[in-house]
């Protein structure tokens, strides 16, 4: 239902692609046997961040290049440099892999935008920390724009599976302004490529689901059963006392280690949408994000929501909000994210493994209704991955349309019951 409404309204899907990662090499100067380049990695994805352990890029040299030195990043393996006597390169691999330095790297290793342990925020959340950069000095490379060839087969190994990179194309040379803004410098040569994300490539099963409830019906619609898979990969424990499982899991060095708390849905993340109250001119929603993964703290998370009333968001507690207006003509979509040092991080599964917000939305008199599931979201994305919704015919329904749709709601016994049940659900599920 939601999908049909969506695709008839616009010719393209604003969620996919939601931007890409752009990698750019600016050759700054020529050296006796090669060049020095500044490499930048820009996360242009609106709401998909790159979390710890961070980005990791690889490529295949087009000729017999070596890396003499690097500032602001490092290679994971020097490779075989045995044929060099005396002056040894930093890396002789045909297909080097480069990773970021950790915060607190030595002063002489620093480069603008470096040294964040590979972590990049999404563009929508904070453009100033969505970019990484390093400097690389390349030998045996050719010493002019006629003889130098961009590397091939770029790939983004970190942040885990899901990214596919294009070939590097030579583009017009980057122009940068001097710090005083009075003169321009031009790179000798620039090439650039993009890496795009596909949820299907990243993982066969979903990572997030949605449950629903409302003040007007004690029914709670849970996440669909087994929606994130009920196979061995999703085996679970009820609490961390079962530490044998925990240890066998943590020794595996994965990008996203997972040990789930047992649930019906088997998802690491659940988003619960509760229609909490109906006032004369406003209505209220509570959104709770719960982490069921004992091995993961979600840092710098994002939640993208599509709901027809979001453009009338009047008030919000505990989260930050940004409308995704660049997807005009769509104006019913926005991104929520955490407040620094308050809830930028969702703790691992357990007593503290959830965060929530309350929204107050101003009613649009022509469209507002509690009927037909209108008050529930059309789509939700956690960290850029779509959360699976329950089937529309299982949504909490409106028992008495006339009463609930028109007036401020007095506390009725069913409201109290529903609130109680939601609390029970959130504590025990
Ligand atoms: C290569 O460099 C020369 C001299 O700097 C310049 O005139 C020419 O346009 C450059 N060619 C390319 C493809 O960048
Ligand atoms: C999550 O963060 C908390 C607080 O920083 C820390 O105590 C805990 O060990 C972390 N858990 C995991 C699984 O990394
Ligand atoms: C929004 O929240 C603030 C702080 O809680 C409150 O002072 C203000 O009255 C609220 N506005 C509306 C329209 O509810
Ligand atoms: C949002 O978009 C709809 C449909 O494109 C349009 O009718 C409406 O006026 C827009 N609202 C705002 C606040 O821009």
- Same domain flag for 149 and 161: yes
398 membership: H or E segment, kind and range: none
Tens digit of each residue's pLDDT (9 = 90 or more) over 273-331: 999 999 999 999 999 999 999 999 999 999 999 999 998 999 999 999 998 865 556 67
User: Cα–Cα–Cα angle for 24, 29, 31, nearest 5°?
Assistant: 120
Ligand (nearest to CA of 145): 1
Ligand (nearest to CA of 359): 3
Q: Is 331 a pocket residue for ligand 4 (Cβ < 6 Å)?
A: yes
Other Cβ atoms less than 10 A from the Cβ of 402: the count is: 8
- Would the pLDDT of 348 be above 90? yes
Q: What is the distance in angstroms between the CA of the first residue and the CA of the last residue of the chain?
A: 28
Tens digit of each residue's pLDDT (9 = 90 or more) over 223-280: 999 999 887 666 788 877 655 555 555 544 455 788 899 999 999 999 999 999 999 9
- Does residue 301 contact residue 293 with C-beta atoms inside 8 Å? no
- Same domain flag for 218 and 337: yes
Q: Helix (H) and strand (E) counts for the chain? A: 5, 28
Ligand (nearest to CA of 282): 3
Per the listing, tokens 């049940």 go with: 421
Instruction: Give burial (CB, 10 Å; 0-12/13-18/19+) of 326.
Output: exposed
- Does residue 348 contact residue 293 with C-beta atoms inside 8 Å? yes
Question: Quick one: which atom of ligand 4 is closest to the CA of 312?
Answer: 13
Other Cβ atoms less than 10 A from the Cβ of 352: the count is: 10
- Same domain flag for 147 and 109: yes
Q: Is 148 a pocket residue for ligand 1 (Cβ < 6 Å)?
A: no
Ligand 1 mean position, distance from CA 176 (Å): 17
Whether 37 maps to a domain, the answer reads yes
- Same domain flag for 167 and 299: no
Q: How far apart are CA 139 and CA 89, in angstroms?
A: 9
Ligand (nearest to CA of 333): 4
Instruction: Take atom 7 of ligand 3 and give the residue whose Cα is closest.
Output: 315
Domain endpoint, select from 200, 220, 255: 200
* Ligand 3, CB cutoff 6 Å, lining residues: 314-315, 360
Q: Is 188 a pocket residue for ligand 1 (Cβ < 6 Å)?
A: no
Ligand 2 mean position, distance from CA 162 (Å): 26
Question: Quick one: which atom of ligand 2 is closest to the CA of 294?
Answer: 13
Question: Quick one: which atom of ligand 3 is closest to the CA of 360?
Answer: 14
Pick 17 or 368 by higher pLDDT.
368
Whether 12 maps to a domain, the answer reads no
Instruction: Take atom 12 of ligand 3 and give the residue whose Cα is closest.
Output: 315
Q: Is 101 a pocket residue for ligand 1 (Cβ < 6 Å)?
A: no
Q: What pLDDT does residue 193 have?
A: 96
Q: Is 189 a pocket residue for ligand 1 (Cβ < 6 Å)?
A: yes
Ligand (nearest to CA of 249): 2
- Same domain flag for 268 and 295: yes
Query: Of 26-40, 64-78, 110-124, 239-253, where does mean pLDDT reach its minimum?
Result: 239-253
Q: How many residues does this entry show for the chain?
A: 429
User: Cα–Cα–Cα angle for 141, 146, 152, nearest 5°?
Assistant: 55
Q: Is 329 a pocket residue for ligand 4 (Cβ < 6 Å)?
A: yes
Of the candidates 302, 279, 310, 283, the residue with the CA atom closest to the CA atom of residue 377: 310
Whether 3 maps to a domain, the answer reads no
Query: Of 82-91, 97-106, 353-362, 412-421, where does mean pLDDT reach its minimum?
Result: 412-421
Whether 338 maps to a domain, the answer reads yes
Whether 1 maps to a domain, the answer reads no
- Same domain flag for 43 and 139: yes
Whether 77 maps to a domain, the answer reads yes
**Model's pTM, two decimal places?**
0.78
Domain endpoint, select from 176, 200, 224: 200
Q: Is 311 a pocket residue for ligand 4 (Cβ < 6 Å)?
A: yes
Q: Is 95 a pocket residue for ligand 1 (Cβ < 6 Å)?
A: no
Ligand 1 mean position, distance from CA 188 (Å): 8
pLDDT band for position 6 (cuts 50, 70, 90): very low
Domain count, the chain: 2
- Same domain flag for 241 and 165: no
Q: What percent of the chain has pLDDT over 90?
A: 62
Q: What is the mean pLDDT of residues 131-143?
A: 96
393 membership: H or E segment, kind and range: none
Instruction: Take atom 2 of ligand 3 and give the residue whose Cα is closest.
Output: 315
What CATH number does the domain containing 83 carry? 2.60.40.290
- Same domain flag for 187 and 254: no
- Same domain flag for 170 and 303: no
CA pseudo-torsion sign 348, 349, 352, 358: positive
- Does residue 208 contact residue 270 with C-beta atoms inside 8 Å? yes
Whether 8 maps to a domain, the answer reads no
Ligand 1 mean position, distance from CA 68 (Å): 25
Tens digit of each residue's pLDDT (9 = 90 or more) over 159-211: 778 899 999 999 999 998 877 878 888 999 999 999 998 888 888 889 999 99
Question: Quick one: which atom of ligand 2 is closest to the CA of 296?
Answer: 13
Instruction: Take atom 6 of ligand 1 and give the residue whose Cα is closest.
Output: 145
Domain endpoint, select from 165, 200, 235: 200
Instruction: Take atom 9 of ligand 1 and give the residue whose Cα is closest.
Output: 145
Whether 315 maps to a domain, the answer reads yes
Domain coverage including residue 261: 204-413
- Same domain flag for 307 and 394: yes
- Same domain flag for 143 and 220: no
Ligand (nearest to CA of 172): 1
Other Cβ atoms less than 10 A from the Cβ of 145: the count is: 14
Enter the DSSP assignment of 371: G
Q: What pLDDT does residue 176 have?
A: 85
- Would the pLDDT of 369 be above 50? yes
- Same domain flag for 223 and 240: yes
401 membership: H or E segment, kind and range: helix 401-406
- Would the pLDDT of 148 be above 50? yes
Enter the DSSP assignment of 411: P
């Amino acid at each position: 239902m939601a999908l049909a409404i969506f695709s008839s309204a616009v010719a393209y899907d604003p969620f996919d692609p939601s931007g890409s990662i752009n990698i750019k090499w600016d050759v700054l100067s020529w050296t006796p046997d090669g060049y020095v380049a500044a490499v930048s990695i820009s996360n242009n994805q609106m709401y998909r961040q790159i979390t710890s352990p961070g980005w990791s890029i690889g490529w295949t040299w087009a000729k017999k290049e070596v890396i003499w030195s690097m500032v602001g990043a490092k290679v994971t393996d020097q490779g075989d440099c045995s044929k060099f006597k005396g002056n040894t390169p930093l890396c002789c691999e045909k297909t080097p892999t480069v990773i970021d330095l950790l915060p607190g790297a030595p002063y002489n290793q620093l480069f603008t935008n470096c040294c964040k342990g590979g972590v990049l925020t999404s563009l929508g959340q904070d453009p100033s920390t969505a970019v990484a950069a390093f400097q690389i000095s390349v030998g045996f490379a050719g010493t002019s724009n006629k003889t130098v060839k961009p590397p091939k087969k770029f790939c983004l190994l970190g942040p885990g599976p899901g990214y596919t990179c294009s070939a590097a194309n030579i583009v017009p040379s980057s122009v940068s302004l001097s710090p005083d803004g009075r003169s321009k410098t031009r790179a000798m040569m620039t090439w650039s490529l993009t890496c795009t994300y596909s949820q299907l490539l990243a993982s066969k099963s979903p990572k997030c689901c949605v449950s629903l409830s409302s003040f007007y019906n004690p029914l709670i619609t849970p996440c669909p059963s087994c929606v994130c898979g009920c196979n061995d990969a999703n085996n679970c424990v009820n609490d961390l006392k079962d530490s044998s499982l925990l240890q066998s899991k943590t020794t595996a060095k994965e990008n996203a280690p997972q040990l789930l708390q047992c649930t019906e849905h088997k998802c690491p993340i659940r988003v619960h949408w509760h229609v909490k109250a109906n006032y004369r001119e406003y209505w209220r929603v509570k959104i709770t994000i719960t982490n069921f993964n004992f091995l993961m703290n979600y840092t710098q998370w994002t939640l993208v929501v599509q709901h027809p009333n979001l453009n009338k968001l009047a008030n919000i507690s505990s989260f930050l909000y940004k409308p995704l207006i660049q997807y005009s003509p769509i104006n019913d979509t926005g991104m929520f994210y955490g407040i620094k040092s308050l809830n930028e991080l969702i703790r691992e599964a357990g007593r503290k493994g959830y965060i929530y917000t309350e929204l107050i939305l101003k009613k649009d008199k022509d469209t507002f209704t509690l009927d037909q599931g209108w008050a529930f979201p059309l789509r939700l994305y956690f960290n850029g991955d779509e959360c699976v919704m329950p089937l529309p015919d299982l949504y909490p329904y409106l028992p008495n349309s006339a009463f609930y749709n028109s007036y401020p709601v007095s506390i009725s016994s069913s409201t109290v019951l529903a609130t109680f049940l939601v609390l029970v659900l959130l504590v025990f599920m």
